[in-house]
Structure 1
Amino acid sequence: MSVSLDPRDRVQILDEEGTVREGATVPDIEDDSLVEMYREMRLARHFDGRAVSLQRQGRMGTYPPLSGQEAAQVGSAMALEDDDWLFPSYREHAAAHVRGVGLDRTLRYWMGDERGNAHRGLNVFPVAVPIATQVLHATGAAWASDLHGDDAAFLCYFGDGATSEGDFHEGLNFAGVFDLPAIFFCNNNQWAISVPRERQTASETLAQKARAYGFEGVQVDGMDPLAVYQVTSEALSKAKSPDSAGDDGSGGAIRPTLIEAVQYRFGAHTTADDPSVYRDDDEVERWKRKDPIPRLETYLRDRGILDDESVATIGRSIEDEVAEAIEAAEGTERPAPTEMFDSVLAERTERLDEQAAHLERLRARYGDEELLE
């Protein structure tokens, strides 16, 4: 069983300048897919900036930025096959878009419209705001799929802070015991809101926590989309194709994997957070030199896949797509306030009906505007 303990073992293909590292093997990805990967990352970055602006203008509620984490999200999501499932936390806007969730739906959710979080027809689980609860959901879904004999894998995202929650340990332990087709993807962005990585755990890496549960952990440069794609593809293979040799002690069973993607969030934890209180500008600038977007762009330019004209064309199409998504989200009829009670449980309880009726009486008496004030 292999577990990455030494930072020198961290998987990396592109260095900070966008050059393939000596001895690194580039994954076999078609040129069109590489351009798609680049476009999805740029789209996520532009969308992120516009979403933060919308929140600052009072046109959207609290929003969790993703800038800096595009490579981890896009690289991993693009490795999935159609039948695989994605279980997000609350920051995987780019990964969800790769899997078919429209940007307008993401905006609607953060505008307070729960209908934006219903992904019918897509193998994308609803957004999970509570920390690490989605780990249990993904583990349970993987178990059910395995019992049914399906050939699907379940990719679950969470932050470094989630590894300090009990749900994380319970989910991984269960997956290890029952040989589930699950990939646990930790977005280690160095900060759990204001708590630094080193204050959360004495483990040298987060990847090595997989050892306790009997399966493999791997640490990857989360700002290198090619490396992320590669390790996720390898994890998917283990989740679907049993190792007949059973080198990891599994006796030829399918195996889960824990991936620790080392990265950085450039912005705030959410728009309700002020990161300047707990981290300095020098730290942010150091990590920005690892920015995943120019790294991939340099690689694609060097291979002749991108040039000035194609980069400009992609930029214009991205601006149009995000503008259209904002228009669509803001043009959607707002749900009635009482609809907030519809998504709490599968069916409303008597208590929920009482609360909804009370809200309707208040609306009738004061009106929505006065209630909001």
Structure 2
Amino acid sequence: MSTRYTPREMLEKLISFNTVSDRSNLDLIAFVEDYLSGYGIASVRVPDETGTKASLHARIGPARDGGVVLSGHTDVVPVAGQNWSRDPFSAWVLEGKLYGRGSADMKGFAATVLAKVPDFIAADLGRPIHIALSYDEEVGCFGAPPLVRDMLAKGPRPEFVIVGEPTNMKIVTAHKGIAVFKTTVRGHPAHSSQLHRGVSAISAAAKLICWLDARTAENKANADPDCAFEPPYTTLHSGVIKGGEAHNITAEHCEFTTDFRLLPGDSKQSWLDRYKAFIDTEVLPGMLAISGECAISVTELAYVPGLSEEVDGPAETEVRGLTGDNARHVVVYATEGGIFQEHGLSTVVCGPGSIDQAHQADEFIELVELERCAAFLDRLMKRLS
């Protein structure tokens, strides 16, 4: 029999595993496997291609379709360069708050779910509870797609999903998607006094960035005033750029990274097609007229689909009944919820803690939030029994 943990104790244990996204999460996964095994629960690893990370899923209750997935990610963002009061991977409690990296985002939810495993087992569940823990959410939600595919392939099929990102236990029914692209421009070097003989990769990149900015401005001007998102339109933002060697040489190389923050239902491919059409018709021909070595390439680095509001979806119906929250809440950050929804699973986001604490130095979650989450899971358990 495994040790029984309170949500606070389990959270302190999970925080002790340094699972910053550039590190392995296998020690945490092994701990969860052993913990579940101690209660007679089999779990399934879904490793990444390198074998240094893994997701995990497990089922408690009958082997039948229906029930719920309780989903969280195991990775956390870096602490480097942040001014922490204490060791971020050794939790501490002060004035009703539990501090540590991942306390709010989002080990608090995972900890409460795991602490409730003995109660889930003891309940006479008529519908199963699935636990799903992923890797690399913070760097692109890379672990969730293979995790969801593996869960569905091995069955049974759940009815709805709760992604436990920090929402102060309010129900979030929609969020924006994100697509990240790197644009690489190859120009032709020449002495800047003979500018007509060269092609500046930086100047070409500037035209592209200005085009992206102009599309955001158009979206803002045409935004639906009834849209619940803030901002209420798709944005195209370039956050990183580098290129050039010297002030008096036309830059041979420039690259920049752009993210599209997409309203649910807005097509990533449609925006990409428009962008590439502008490159091919308005920018690249003039470059090639000077040098055939010039080129522009666009590479997708990450894509997380948005979560769309569902009309009378089972996830929203169930969770509204459990929380009593009938207000409309949408968020502009992305979660793994859109990935579950893309696979045909009704999904909402609801979890303990505040997103305002995510990624911050001295990240914390209020202990009362863990209590509220535990009470929510108790009600869920009774609903499924």
Given the two structures, how large is their TM-score scaled by the length of structure 1?
0.25
Structure with a larger share of its residues in helix: 1
Given the two structures, how large is their TM-score scaled by the length of structure 2?
0.25
